[in-house]
Amino acid sequence: MPLVTLSAAYGAGGSRIGPELAERLGVPFLDRAIPTAVAQRLAVPLEDVQAHDQSVGSLLARVALRLAPLGQAFGADPGEPLDEDAYRRATETIIREQAATGDGVILGRAAALVLAGDPRALHVRLHGARKARVEQAMLVREIDRETAEREQAETDRAREAYVRHFYRADPRDCALYHLTIDTTALPLETVIETIILAAYGRSG
């Protein structure tokens, strides 16, 4: 069965492509379910996990960006006691447990690095030029350019900081993935069909 990790830049359509890809493949989709599972595993409020979760974008700044000069710009409190490693380890456990089932589509959380040694997993990077991603976000989310540009800057930096801090890697590095796709240059259906073909080729 197909096992796919998706790393997506802001505006590259990860939140649209992930669920549809999973449905087409007939496998579980892991994104919003991950914080809930982590909260249950650590026996902490869901809100605490969401504040540490990579998918939250600017909220992640409280965790990852507080370790860098950018932290203050996002309202991080450098004196706040946080156990980032506990949340990271729990997240990795959830990802590996899903991978152990042999199938799934996992969005974000540096899953390509967590499952780097898994011979069954197909690692995919969704990207595009910054301007094109801003315009795509404006269209899909029905927001103005200023909002899209602000969210892009915050989200991309937060996600990159998360991967750099915990895995000493650059999520934009094409060497981490089997397939990289400019989702601003291709129709959604073409992107999904391409990933499906690659996923079955990898699992077969």
Tell me the residue range of the domain where 10 lies.
3-203
Kindly give, in sequence order, each residue whose CB lies less than 8 Å from that of residue 192, ignoring residues fewer than 6 positions away.
Answer: 17, 20, 21, 24
Q: Is the pLDDT assigned to residue 55 strictly greater than 90?
A: no
Cα 103 from Cα 42, distance rounded (Å):
24
Q: Is the pLDDT of residue 19 over 90?
A: yes
Half-sphere exposure of 180 (CA within 13 A, CB side): 11
pLDDT of residue 31: 84
Query: How confident is the model at residue 1, as a pLDDT?
Result: 80
Q: What is the CATH number of the domain that holds 146?
A: 3.40.50.300
Least confident of 11-15, 130-134, 164-168: 164-168
> pLDDT, tens digit, for every residue of 145-194?
999 999 999 889 888 888 888 899 999 999 999 999 999 999 999 999 99
9 neighbors 156 (Cβ within 8 angstroms): yes
Number of domains in the chain: 1
Choose among 40, 69, 32, 35: nearest CA to 51: 35
pLDDT of 128 > 60? The answer is yes
pLDDT of residue 56: 41
